[in-house]
């Protein structure tokens, strides 16, 4: 009996150290760093039906329904396709440096591989993931992952443990393209700190007041950094003092998780 319904949980990530090289001839940058998937996750429900093609529904975010990396993932499996409705319950903030769109694409790729009976091996899924976006392979693997190249070269290196993350989230988002463009225009700002992110200065240049919020997090938790292209600020901690809650539009506690994508199957 063919499956009719699959639930997929797409976990966000935080970057723990992110080094960025000069722009390459193909327009990308060489990167090197570590990503850790966290407990904050979107939930995707994929239902095979008698509708027309693949439809994406994102309650509360209609702008994401016609332009979504999930559709790119479905396109890569087109020869196996069945009419399918994909509903995304967005819990990961958009354009926040937490990889929400890439996580959804990774989850859709894994779920459609099962729902449509493609039965592609994990190695092939990782290869396809790299065609969707630079963060997608790492988020498909999950856990603690080292990424290099433009992000498509990934190696799982285990998982962090014994601590949680405080996420200071801003309503203003930053697209990865804008962050890298600003990075190209700024002078270099390297650091030997493990958690240093080369894109932090770019994020702070784009979002007014972000640099001050980073400092507040550092003063409170001892260390803090911008995740990915920002503007989410990450610290290691398990409590949210009033000062931190008042400094951001939204604050979340998250834990590291070993999984990138988790599937639940229904006939």
On whether the CB atoms of residues 203 and 231 are closer than 8 A, the answer is yes
Q: What is the mean pLDDT of the chain?
A: 93
**7 noted as active-site residue:** no
Distance CA 69, CA 103 (A): 9
Say what the pLDDT of residue 3 is: 81
Whether the predicted model's global pTM rises above the 0.75 cut? yes
Say what the pLDDT of residue 267 is: 64
Distance CA 225, CA 166 (A): 11
List the CATH code of the domain at 5-158+259-266: 3.30.230.10
Distance CA 167, CA 15 (A): 12
- Catalytic one of 42, 104, 135, 198: 135
Distance CA 184, CA 73 (A): 29
Per-residue H/E/C for the chain: CCCCEEEEEEEEEEEEEEEEEEECCCCCEEEEEEEEEEEEEEEEEEEECCCCCEEEECCCCHHHCCCCHHHHHHHHCHHHCCCEEEEEECCCCCCCCCCHHHHHHHHHHHHHHHHCCCCCCHHHHHHHHHHHCCCHHHHHHCCEEEEECCCCEEEECCCCCCCCEEEEECCCCCCHHHHHHHHHHCCCCCCCCCCCECCHHHHHHHCCCHHHHHHHHHHHHCCEEECCCCCCEEEECCCCCHHHHHHCCEEEEECECCCCEEEEEEC
Say what the pLDDT of residue 189 is: 67
Q: Which fold has domain 165-254?
A: Alpha-Beta Plaits (3.30.70)
Q: At what angle do helices 69-76 and 100-115 cross, to 10 degrees?
A: 30
- Catalytic one of 13, 42, 90, 198: 13
**135 noted as active-site residue:** yes
Least confident of 191-195, 204-208, 228-232: 191-195
Evaluate if residue 1 carries a pLDDT over 60: no
Q: Tokens for 71, please give them.
A: 């559709």
Q: Tokens for 28, please give them.
A: 């990308």
Least confident of 22-31, 42-51, 93-102, 176-185: 22-31
Q: In the chain, what are the domain boundaries?
A: 5-158+259-266, 165-254
Say what the pLDDT of residue 204 is: 96
């Amino acid at each position: 009996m063919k499956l009719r319904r699959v639930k997929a949980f797409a976990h966000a990530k935080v970057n723990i150290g992110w080094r960025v090289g000069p722009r390459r001839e193909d327009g990308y940058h060489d990167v090197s760093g570590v990503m850790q998937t966290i407990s904050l996750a979107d939930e995707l429900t994929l239902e095979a039906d008698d509708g027309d093609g693949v439809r994406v529904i994102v309650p509360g975010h209609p702008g994401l329904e016609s332009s979504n990396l999930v559709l790119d993932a479905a396109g890569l499996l087109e020869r196996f396709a069945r009419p399918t409705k994909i509903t995304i319950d967005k819990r990961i903030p958009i354009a926040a440096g937490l990889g929400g769109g890439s996580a959804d694409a990774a989850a859709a790729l894994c779920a459609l591989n099962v729902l449509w009976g493609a039965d592609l091996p994990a190695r092939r899924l990782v290869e396809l993931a790299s065609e969707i976006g630079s963060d997608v392979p790492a988020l498909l693997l999950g856990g603690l992952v080292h990424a290099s190249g433009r992000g498509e070269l990934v190696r799982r290196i285990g998982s962090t443990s014994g601590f949680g993350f405080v996420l200071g989230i801003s309503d203003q988002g930053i697209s990865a393209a804008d962050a890298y463009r600003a990075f190209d225009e700024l002078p270099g700002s390297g650091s030997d700190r493990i958690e240093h992110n080369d894109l932090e200065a770019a994020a702070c240049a784009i979002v007014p007041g972000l640099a001050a919020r980073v400092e507040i997090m550092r003063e409170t938790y001892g260390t803090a950094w911008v995740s990915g292209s920002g503007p989410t600020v990450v610290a290691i901690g398990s409590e949210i003092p009033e000062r931190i809650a008042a400094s951001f539009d939204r604050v979340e506690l998250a834990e590291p998780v070993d999984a990138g994508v988790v599937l639940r199957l229904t006939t």
